[in-house]
Chain A
Amino acid sequence: MRATRYYTTVSALAVLFLFPLVWSGWASLEDPGDYLEMARFGEGLGTYLTNSALVSAMTVGGTLVVSALGGYAFARFDFPGKNLLFLATLAILMVPYATILIPLYVLLGHLGLQNSLVGLSLVFVMFQLPFALFMMRNAFEAIPRELEEAALVDGCGTFRAFSRILLHAVRPGLITVGLFAFLASWNDFFAPLILLNDGASFTLPVAVVSMTQRTFGAVDYGMLQAGVMTMAVPCLILFLVLQRHYVRGFMSGALRG
């Protein structure tokens, strides 16, 4: 009896949470022409998809390289300024994201990276760094010191020990960091809205939002849901496949940083 009531409640809630996703998928597929129309919107879907994929790839790659090297440094080395650098990195979490995008816009202009996918990716790497560095430092600390020492005794330099042996041992951490970096860079709307100002360099979220803001004619809602699904489906699949790694990000307490 109690079990029936329990399952009725959670099932009703599950329907409530899944309904919008199912509806959007259905609405986007009702008329396959919506996808064709979306493919021709603005600069063309291919351009936006390529931009988004490039930004995500650069963000994931950059975050992995920087946080793996940095995590190793913080876990295994002692150097002057270590605590200061760690606190400065964590301070990124304390400073509201939105408030430093205006100066970043000006700064990237001076660096010749205005309206640039590379510039945007670097900004994403910076925003990912507190979580990623904390995660990777913990991952390296969890490796038994003997593993590294054995490699060093065998004549490996620290870099060879790092790249040949330690990186394998921290692979789960790398997957978690990469997953968070992908979801953030693929989905973010505010940073590309500010840092990119030319339609040809828009990422998917900015392009799809601009579908609602056409000056002439009504909004094409079918096309809009096709856009929503194009953005959402890769994330949904990736999340379902890598769910375990996502939850580990929470479990590690890294959010607490």
Chain B
Amino acid sequence: MSITLDRPPRGTAHQSAPSPPPWWRGRKAQGWAYAAPTALIVGVLFVVPLILVVWMSLHRWPLLGPATFNAPDNYTKIADNPLFLDAVVFTLKYTVIITVLLSAVALGLALLVQERRPGVGFFRTAFFLPGAVGFAAAALLFYGMLNNEFGPIDPLLQSLGITDEPVKWIGTPDAALFSTIALVLWRFAGFNMLILLTGLQAIPVEVYEAARSDGANRWQIFTKITMPLLRPTIALMLILSVTGSLLAFDQFFIFTNGGPDNSTVSMVMVVYREAFFRFDLGGAAAISVVLLVALVALNVLQMRVLRRSR
């Protein structure tokens, strides 16, 4: 994190008034008054749940009925949960594939539309527009678009002679993963492109001009100037992509429904199933704590790398 708080100099005009203001008119109390809603929301809806999730994970906590202390059962039984272990493997695989593809596609798009030329604004908007659609809506859109009877993709591919018969888009584990990747790329490529564009725009034009006058060709400019200067932005994009993918839920819940044969069950889907299908909130909380610790550790690690690459 690069945020540093600068302390404003104490006292402004009104403090030079003849009589000292009562304590509750002082800047400290006023500052607290303005920050109070923030503190209330963060305290009640963030800090308390953070403590509660740990507390819950130490108890047998059914959806209905009283909780009883049972630590560390909820944690030890995670190791015996084959659905979760499979989900870990699947989610990691998905995260690697998505992060690589998404970064590549986003970088390609960003490089295509980084320069000012006629019509480039339209293309930027076109690439980003899927990102304005909600992810749930996007998943349902693909659900219809890839349907064999209703969707346009199968007739299109067949009329082009690419396929002979309707493809089972979510009928086999590999196809379901492939289709989900297509959905996620469509929905998020523009979003990541926008992140990269902000980085590209921050590179001063003079640097490029200097390189060009030194006789550098386009490939040299890309590898020696653009990429090194873009590293912090790329690192940020990777953090967002990795975190987002590890917590994937909507795409698998809505689009593949975890199928076929539980082959596309993500880690967060297991949390949801434990809580609301098996009514075991304690077990769901224990998995949540494990995910939480892993992801915070990963975030801290990535932040370190990000900071070093600045």
Spell out A's residues near B (CB within 8 Å). 6-7, 9-11, 13-14, 17-18, 20-21, 23-24, 27, 65-67, 69-70, 72-80, 82-83, 85-86, 88-92, 94-100, 102-107, 122-123, 125-126, 129, 133-134, 145, 148-149, 152-153, 158, 162, 183, 186-190, 193-194, 205, 208-209, 212, 221-222, 224-225, 227-228, 231-232, 235-236, 238-240, 243, 247, 250-251, 253, 255-257
Contact = CB atoms under 8 A, between A and B. Distances in A.
Given A70-B34, A85-B42, A194-B276, A10 B113 contact: yes
Contact of B254 (A76, A105, A209): A209
Nearest to B232: A256
Interface in B101-147: 109, 112-113, 119, 122-123, 125-127, 129-130, 132-137, 140-145, 147
Given A85-B39, A152-B13, 12 more contacts: A20-B130, A69-B36, A98-B249, A100-B292, A103-B56, A106-B281, A129-B41, A183-B132, A208-B140, A225-B144, A227-B140, A239-B132
Contacts of A250: 194-195, 198
A162 to B, nearest CB: 8
A17 B247 contact: no
Given A21-B133, A250-B194, A74 B5 contact: yes
A178 to B, nearest CB: 15
A123 B249 CA distance: 18
Contacts of B243: 96
Interface stretch (B44-52, B77-85, B161-169): B44-52
Contacts of B33: 73
B13 A10 contact: no
Which secondary structure characterizes the binding site on chain A?
A: helix
B68 to A, nearest CB: 15
B271 interface: yes
A236 B132 contact: yes
Nearest to A123: B45
Contacts of B246: 96
Interface in B220-277: 236, 240, 243, 246-247, 249-250, 253-254, 268, 271-272, 275-276
Given A103-B285, A126-B45, A69 B247 contact: no
B280 to A, nearest CB: 11
Interface of B: 1-3, 5, 7-8, 10, 12-14, 27-39, 41-42, 44-50, 52-53, 56, 61, 109, 112-113, 119, 122-123, 125-127, 129-130, 132-137, 140-145, 147, 149-152, 186, 189-190, 194-195, 198, 236, 240, 243, 246-247, 249-250, 253-254, 268, 271-272, 275-276, 281, 284-285, 288-289, 291-292, 295-296, 299-300
A82 B31 contact: yes
A209 B132 CA distance: 18
A189 B134 contact: yes
Most buried by A among B3, B44, B48, B243: B3
A183 B135 CA distance: 11
Nearest to A222: B150
Nearest to B233: A256
A231 B247 contact: no
A133 B130 contact: no
Contacts of A17: 126-127, 129-130, 186, 189-190
